[in-house]
Chain A
Amino acid sequence: MSKEEKKVNRRDFLFTASYTIGAVGVGAVIWPMIDQMNPDKAQQALATTEVDISSIEPGKSITVLWRGKPIFIKKRTSEEIAEARAVKLDDLPDPQKDEDRVKDGKDEWLVMLGVCTHLGCVPLKDKGDFNGWFCPCHGSHYDVSGRIRKGPAPTNMEIPKFEFVDSNTIKIG
């Protein structure tokens, strides 16, 4: 091959420019094809749910559906709260204080995503070795604060964004 080919010439410039524009064009077309699979406007519109919690007795819980997922709303007894707070943080695979999982002054209300953080099953209430929840799929045990204690799940059950609209109503999302 001759030396001349090593020099950058007009043809090299045209090749590079064509490939670059081509790549930008392909990228611009691929992104909508990928993004169309993300949650659509109708799914996003389901983002908040208001729940009446006035009829829940202490020690009992209800399950509501939010964004297709169960939300556990539990009114805990003072013994249960004391039990959750007596746990040493060193004993937790995912250390988190019970105080950080509830709203200040509303310590009895545990509102959390009823979804096992392992592979997404719904844990059963009042089961397992820690007085809380037990996931039947792969055997994760959660305590009365919804924190992972034993089993394959990596983290505590998630606390969704929620607020008290008034003393009898909470808004999730």
Chain B
Amino acid sequence: MSEHEYVPKSKAGKWFNDRLPLLTLGAHLTDYPTPKNLNYWWTFGGILTFCLITQIVTGIVLAMHYVAHADLAFASVEHIMRDVNYGWLIRYIHSNGASMFFLAVYIHIFRSLFYGSYKSPREVIWIIGLMIYLLMMAAAFMGYVLPWGQMSFWGATVITNLFSAIPLVGDSITTWLWGAYSVDNPTLNRFFSLHYLIPFLILGLVVLHIWALHVPGNNNPVGIDIKKPSKDTVPFHPYITIKDAFALLVFMIIFAGFVFFTPNVLGHSDNYIPANPLVTPAHIVPEWYLLPFYAILRSVPDKLGGVILMFGAIFILFVLPWLDTSKVRSAVFRPIYRQFYWIFVLDVLMLGYVGAMPAEGIYLVLARVGTIYYFAHFIIVMPIVGLLEKTDPIPMSISEPVLTGGAEPSLARKVNDKV
């Protein structure tokens, strides 16, 4: 690897780098050979890094003004909104930032699903990414509890009660999570502590995610292995940094649109009512990014079954690299899988929609069909399509189809060649 030959120019730099090779790391990140055909779907890694840092910075500032106590939390959030200098801005960035974070992570995940980025040799990157996603959901849920409004309180009640479905020890676990006999002040206190902790755990996992990425290098839209560095790659800086920066700017425009024009559109108005343990709001809905899983939970007419399927919907993603039997990574060359992929995307969107609707009538039917299809996609479609599908010819390299003006048969790999 080229970075091992890196020698700092200055004497001081060399002295420091011999003791702690940070400059070598910097040179590695700058020169990191990246496939030259990465499209804009590949810019969301950078966007997600921005989202994480934004949440950490705004969160640390909000914690300077917030009071984690059942009697004071709601008022302290209003205090942030009305009294603290720019408090409204910082809080709206933080609350909308969570939604933008999930928007970006879903695009990032679906990009990986389309281009087969979870497949060998990138399984560990995928699994670390899923761990980040799980932690993000935990952080988002606990963060939503902190304002101690009606949705905070009852969201916390419903989600913590999921654990009471566990046979025998369920009730003890739930009481242990609460630190009381219901969601109460001890619950709020510990959620604040954990909400502050989790972003730093995510940060650590992000380092591992990028480290694991830099071992095999990026996947690419064509999904073939490439030599690095070669005519198929460009250095990360300035080529990818400038592309990432442009995409980030567009993303920030959308982000700012939410923050300045419709800061509450993604939230729920019931959360501006202080928590009341005696009255449950008529329609409890989680935040939009959890709705597909909520729909799966409600589609099962059995408490434990619903909880198992809901968690199963996430945990099945961990074994995805081994459920997908296709040797071809990118869906660009997989005509059958590509169609199932889009059906799956529609299925998840539909589950999200019915998750926001009352669990009755046609919505319940749709939720059940959607849930069955969700699991069938992973358990039936992916293994079988991977084995039976006749894939399109795969190019020898990224450059060749471009330089020869199309996929000539002589240059294309045979279907069954290992990629």
Contact = CB atoms under 8 A, between A and B. Distances in A.
A95 interface: no
A121 B157 contact: yes
Given A119-B158, A120-B161, A137-B280, A68 B190 contact: no
A85 interface: no
Interface residues of A, number: 27
B181 A69 contact: yes
Interface stretch (A16-24, A33-41, A99-107, A161-169): A33-41
Interface in A117-154: 117-122, 135-139, 151-154
B280 A136 contact: yes
Given A65-B278, A68-B184, A119 B179 contact: no
A119 B161 contact: yes
B227 interface: no
Contacts of A117: 303
Contact of B181 (A67, A119, A122, A136): A67
B91 interface: no
Given A67-B181, A69-B277, A152-B303, A138 B157 contact: no
* Majority SS at the chain B contact face: loop
A43 interface: yes
A40 B277 contact: no
A63 interface: yes
A151 B282 CA distance: 16
Nearest to B284: A137
B306 interface: yes
Contact of A39 (B180, B282, B303): B180
Contacts of B277: 65, 68-70, 122
B179 A154 contact: no
A124 B137 CA distance: 30
Contacts of B302: 152, 154
A68 B183 contact: yes
Contacts of A121: 154, 157-158, 280, 284
B284 A122 contact: no
Contacts of B175: 38-39
Nearest to B174: A120
Nearest to B175: A39
Contact of B186 (A43, A63, A118, A120): A43
B138 to A, nearest CB: 16
B182 interface: yes
4 nearest interchain CB pairs?
A68-B182, A67-B181, A120-B161, A119-B161
Given A122-B278, A122-B280, 19 more contacts: A34-B176, A37-B176, A39-B180, A43-B181, A43-B186, A65-B278, A68-B184, A69-B277, A70-B277, A121-B284, A122-B277, A136-B283, A137-B154, A137-B158, A152-B298, A152-B303, A153-B303, A154-B302, A154-B304
28 contacts: A37-B177, A37-B179, A37-B190, A39-B175, A39-B181, A43-B181, A63-B278, A65-B278, A67-B181, A68-B180, A68-B277, A69-B182, A69-B277, A119-B158, A119-B161, A119-B162, A119-B303, A120-B161, A120-B182, A121-B284, A122-B278, A137-B158, A137-B284, A152-B298, A152-B300, A152-B301, A152-B303, A154-B304
